[in-house]
Structure 1
Amino acid sequence: MKKIIISTLAVSALLFTTSCENDFDTDVKDIQVTKGDADFTKYVALGNSLTSGYRDGALYADGQNESYPSMIAQQMKLVGGGDFKQPLMPDNNGGLLLATPLGTLQIANTKLYISSFIDGSPDLKYANGNVATTLTNTVLTGPFNNMGVPGAKVAHLLADNYGNVQGVAAKTANPYFVRFASEPTTSVIKDFKKQSPTFFSLWIGNNDALLYALAGADATAETLTPAVQFTQYYNALVNEIASTNAKGVIANIPSVTSIPALTTIPVNPLTAAVLGNGNVTAGNATIDALNAQIYGPLNQILTALGAGDRIKPLSKTAANPLLIKDESLTPLGVQITAAATASGNPTLVALAGYLGATYGQARQAKAGDLVPLTTKAAIGTLQTLPPGVPASLGARGIAYPFADNYILTGTEVADINTTIDAYNVAIKAAATAKGYAFVDANKKMSELGSQSGISFDGVKYTAKFVTGGAFSLDGVHLTGRGYAVIANEFIKSINATYKSNLPEVDPNKYSGIKFP
């Protein structure tokens, strides 16, 4: 299994908070807890992986036991709340197996853990050698109060047959819901309504944008749900929930482009040390060769075409940006081929057709672009090249431009965030129309972007990847402590709307990143 090594360079983030001051009110020893206008007897949580307690790239038992709905449910018990049952995994490995006519297939990785640190960066590995032990086809006995389904979009909660194992391969069903659906033909919302909940929470919609962003905005792999369609599905979902007459709380969607999974790797990771595998002298020699073979000639050609800012020679003293393909650029392949042919340089003449075909929409990454964590492992891997092209030109992201799906361009980032803004308008309108409590998770998470952090009983939490205590090792989902912070945001909104006074939870009692 290939090692996963993630840099701990500067991170912007997803979580939430405002200052280093104590952001929690926990001194409730002299306060009588009341439920106010709410009835917490039967609390059911709807959502996706964030609701399920997913973390470290997997669903596993300890993470589920620290899901934010479970934390909220414990506080509800103080005023008559009932038991809160979750579809627990049988162990702490994570990963899923699916029995098919062709044999048993592993369809999800096990959880990530830090094996060691290499040059200050965590060396991440998969638990149990990435061998899953949970069989998806084994259906658990419900009903379950935590109905968070990893990978679910808004429309999926409405879809019949979403728990049918026969539809997993075709992606019409979800393997996690297969585990606890009451029957194969049911939907998440139908199983929710069967329970006749008295109170609910809903945090859904993240995946309508997140999966597309993590795929580098590659529409052939994942789609960004159009805002109009999202609004239709969301309103239909909320109307179904409202038919139960349960009271509840709804949260909006954070900017998925600010999570560590998309902000940890810089756009300019190519230093002489990196290019020389730790040997600066060798790295400088590589820079000289690349400038002579590719960067210098292309810069001259593109400058003559009025596009010299696309590719500039590499620096020996500064960090250099990745080389990418930007499909929004005007193609200049024909012009590059013509210029290379006319140059009189035998090397350029021999490569003229290749240069035009490969670099016509190439540019160096720049501020505003985002590099997914998953792209780091691909930097420098070799692209198969046509006969006659030097192998040294095949290093992806260095001499060979990364395909567009490896990078989120600034334009793609803006499109995603504009769409999320529209999603959040729809979510807020739905909550207001039904009189539900509302959590502005997007605002809280944006506040954390200031990196000011929060402090609770002397423990400071920030959004910094690995060391900040809030994000788990996948850079998307939270640690137990991070989920405790979001649980408190839900509790605050519930109390404000329904005149209850549920006490907040203590984040320090939950787990963070485990270090070797």
Structure 2
Amino acid sequence: MKKYLYTVLAISLSIGCQPEFNDPINEVGFYSSGSADFSNYVAVGNSLTAGYADNALYLEGQLNSFPSMLANKFSLAGGGDFNQPLVSDNLGGLLVNGQQIQGNRLVLEVTAGSQSPVPIEGTPTTDIANHLEGSFNNMGIPGAKSFHLTANTYGNIGNLPAANPYFIRIASSNQATVIGDAVAQDPTFFTLWIGNNDILSFATSGGVGEDQTGNLDPFTYGSSDITDPNVFANLYNEFLKALTANGAKGAVANIPDVTSIPYFTTVPYNAIPLDESTAAMLNQAYEPYNNGLQQAALLGVITDEEATARTINFKAGQNPVVLLDEDLTDLTFINQGLTNMRQATDKDLIPLPVSSVLGTLSDPENPNSVIGVSVPLNDSQLLTASEIELVVTAQRAYNTTIKTLADQYDIAFVDIQGLMNTLAQEGVSFDGGTITNTFGTGGAFSLDGVHPTQRGYAVVANTFIKAINSKYNADLPIVNPGNYPTIFVK
């Protein structure tokens, strides 16, 4: 059977030679902060605030994080220094006492007939045991969920792996909290973008976690669980209360749709190409399963509709992958072969990493063990419609909270959800080009399919700037995305 591997199809030659454009006038005094005070800007958030990209936090990404871009523009209107907890290299990996605990960043490897993301080679030099002293304006902590910002064990190296390696590097003490260290800097202006990981970890795990709605104790959650919306709302209110206590102004951003990022939109549900003879052979192999479904329907164990939805049928051309769906009726008590199988529909999402195993053999010694065809994808390898609905329901609740509290605290609201939808639908144009959310070639997203490229972060920075200018009657110039790179080729 033809091996299926979904990879980047075409990479523009412009990747290796990025266009550069002139910035607008960068003269101090020409611009205005309006009613805001940018003299001490602190950014609070997760990996998106830190500048994480290509599945790692590396030096160039930090230097071109969206808060760094904002601070550069703030400096034209009274903004002060912006100190970031810079890593030691552009490899992106992390060590603890010399032992590597975080992989290197991804680059695109181009070989004959194939293009795929691979970790860059090299030994990283950022050791989290080497604590950084001082305070840091960029308090973006990769991996942080909302409730992690209040955890007083999150920066204690003795609590690994529960502690966060990125916060360990900069925590003011073993008992420090992220929000506490941010507020201790007495910011005059802040950005807060948090909550993505409260649903994203559930989504990227294929929905193997739990929806914790109704559970108000987040420290009993699993790593892939969805945070209760009331927990999120109470925490978010406490964050804003603390950040605005001294009269600081700020900007908060909402949470984008899972379905707008390449991690979930790149691999199509019908990713299996078959010729007519192979399709016929597979249909014959699945005939006992399909007949068993019809018998179960005749017995009234399942409805005719479920039997139809579960029937496996292949044809010449592109075919839906075969998967396991835990929401289907368990029929194994009738026959162990009647597992919860069906073929994917356009309502299902297949995560980007699954592209590397689709069409390969689960057992190298068995040519009939083709993943996604004769061996169904398991629960961790896809998001079903019901799992997507859990994510969407929580996201809507979080975004309602963010907008409501932005209005309550009279601070700027940044619609990142709208931005990501625009990137997905028509792209965002700038002086010199357009970027979209197409994986590999679109320019907006890095090779992990979740985090923006540096050019993508420039578009995020502009969305913040426009909201800040509007809310505080400020006059800040926007960033030119054309000055920043997209993906990197090995």
Q: TM-score range by the shorter chain?
A: 0.7 to 0.9
1:237 counterpart residue number: 239
Aligned residue runs from structure 1 range 95-110, under 5 A: 95-99=93-97, 104-110=98-104
1:10-54 alpha-carbon deviations (Å, 9 max, x no partner): 9xxxxxxxxxxxxxx957889931111111110010010000000
1:324 counterpart residue number: 323
1:301 counterpart residue number: 292
1:373 counterpart residue number: 352
Aligned residue runs from structure 1 range 109-148, under 5 A: 109-117=103-111, 119=113, 122-128=115-121, 131-148=123-140
1:291 counterpart residue number: 283
1:153-177 alpha-carbon deviations (Å, 9 max, x no partner): 11111111211111122x2x10011
1:340 counterpart residue number: none
User: Identity, % of aligned pairs?
Assistant: 43
1:191 counterpart residue number: 181
1:185-241 alpha-carbon deviations (Å, 9 max, x no partner): 100111112211111001111000111100001116511112122112212222222
Aligned residue runs from structure 1 range 52-71, under 5 A: 52-71=50-69
Per the alignment, do residues 321 and 197 of structure 1 end up closer, same or farther by CA in structure 2, a change over 3 Å counting? same
Gap regions ≥5 residues in structure 1: 11-24, 273-279, 338-352
1:427-464 alpha-carbon deviations (Å, 9 max, x no partner): 111111111111011122222332x2232223122221
Per the alignment, do residues 495 and 166 of structure 1 end up closer, same or farther by CA in structure 2, a change over 3 Å counting? same
2:19 counterpart residue number: none
Aligned to 2:110, the other structure's residue is in SS state strand
Q: 2:370 aligns with which of 395, 403, 414?
A: 395
Indicate if the aligned counterparts of 1:257 and 1:417 stay in contact, CA closer than 8 A: no
Q: 2:144 aligns with which of 152, 157, 161?
A: 152
Residue 72 of structure 2 aligns with an amino acid whose one-letter code is Q
Shift of 1:146: 0.6
Residue 115 of structure 1 aligns with an amino acid whose one-letter code is E
Indicate if the aligned counterparts of 1:112 and 1:473 stay in contact, CA closer than 8 A: yes
1:407 counterpart residue number: 382
Matched, 1:179 2:169: yes
Shift of 1:118: 5.2
Matched, 1:201 2:191: yes
1:18 counterpart residue number: none
Indicate if the aligned counterparts of 2:432 and 2:482 stay in contact, CA closer than 8 A: no
Shift of 1:137: 1.2
Matched, 1:416 2:418: no
Indicate if the aligned counterparts of 2:5 and 2:358 stay in contact, CA closer than 8 A: no
Indicate if the aligned counterparts of 1:109 and 1:126 stay in contact, CA closer than 8 A: yes
Indicate if the aligned counterparts of 2:43 and 2:140 stay in contact, CA closer than 8 A: yes
1:256-287 alpha-carbon deviations (Å, 9 max, x no partner): 23210111011111112xxxxxxx6xxx5544
Residue 313 of structure 1 aligns with an amino acid whose one-letter code is N
Aligned to 2:390, the other structure's residue is in SS state helix
CA–CA distance in 2 between the matches of 1:222 and 1:229? 16
Residue 195 of structure 2 aligns with an amino acid whose one-letter code is G
1:245-264 alpha-carbon deviations (Å, 9 max, x no partner): 21111111111232101110
CA–CA distance in 2 between the matches of 1:5 and 1:212? 25
Per the alignment, do residues 80 and 5 of structure 1 end up closer, same or farther by CA in structure 2, a change over 3 Å counting? farther
Indicate if the aligned counterparts of 1:203 and 1:250 stay in contact, CA closer than 8 A: yes
CA–CA distance in 2 between the matches of 1:408 and 1:9? 24
CA–CA distance in 1 between the matches of 2:63 and 2:348? 36
Per the alignment, do residues 501 and 165 of structure 1 end up closer, same or farther by CA in structure 2, a change over 3 Å counting? same
Q: 1:445 aligns with which of 413, 417, 420?
A: 420
Residue 144 of structure 2 aligns with an amino acid whose one-letter code is A
Indicate if the aligned counterparts of 1:438 and 1:493 stay in contact, CA closer than 8 A: yes
2:300 counterpart residue number: none
RMSD across aligned C-alpha pairs, in angstroms?
Answer: 2.5
Indicate if the aligned counterparts of 1:113 and 1:126 stay in contact, CA closer than 8 A: yes
CA–CA distance in 1 between the matches of 2:47 and 2:28? 36
CA–CA distance in 2 between the matches of 1:218 and 1:39? 44
CA–CA distance in 1 between the matches of 2:236 and 2:311? 44
Indicate if the aligned counterparts of 1:296 and 1:313 stay in contact, CA closer than 8 A: no
Shift of 1:303: 3.2
Indicate if the aligned counterparts of 1:55 and 1:63 stay in contact, CA closer than 8 A: yes
Indicate if the aligned counterparts of 1:5 and 1:123 stay in contact, CA closer than 8 A: no
Aligned to 1:37, the other structure's residue is in SS state coil
2:261 counterpart residue number: 259
CA–CA distance in 1 between the matches of 2:478 and 2:94? 34
Q: 1:430 aligns with which of 380, 401, 405?
A: 405
Indicate if the aligned counterparts of 1:206 and 1:256 stay in contact, CA closer than 8 A: no
Indicate if the aligned counterparts of 2:414 and 2:467 stay in contact, CA closer than 8 A: yes
Indicate if the aligned counterparts of 1:56 and 1:113 stay in contact, CA closer than 8 A: yes
2:212 counterpart residue number: none
CA–CA distance in 1 between the matches of 2:31 and 2:111? 46
Count how many residue pairs are aligned between Structure 1 and Structure 2: 455
Gap regions ≥5 residues in structure 2: 11-22, 210-221, 298-303
Residue 386 of structure 2 aligns with an amino acid whose one-letter code is T
Aligned residue runs from structure 1 range 479-490, under 5 A: 479-490=453-464
CA–CA distance in 2 between the matches of 1:456 and 1:442? 19
Aligned to 2:88, the other structure's residue is in SS state coil
Aligned to 2:158, the other structure's residue is in SS state helix
Shift of 1:334: 2.8
Aligned to 1:228, the other structure's residue is in SS state helix
Indicate if the aligned counterparts of 2:322 and 2:343 stay in contact, CA closer than 8 A: yes
1:334 counterpart residue number: 333
CA–CA distance in 1 between the matches of 2:381 and 2:7? 17
CA–CA distance in 2 between the matches of 1:431 and 1:224? 23
Indicate if the aligned counterparts of 1:40 and 1:82 stay in contact, CA closer than 8 A: yes
CA–CA distance in 2 between the matches of 1:515 and 1:401? 33
CA–CA distance in 1 between the matches of 2:396 and 2:465? 24
TM-score (structure 2 length as normaliser): 0.87
CA–CA distance in 1 between the matches of 2:291 and 2:171? 61
Indicate if the aligned counterparts of 2:39 and 2:189 stay in contact, CA closer than 8 A: yes
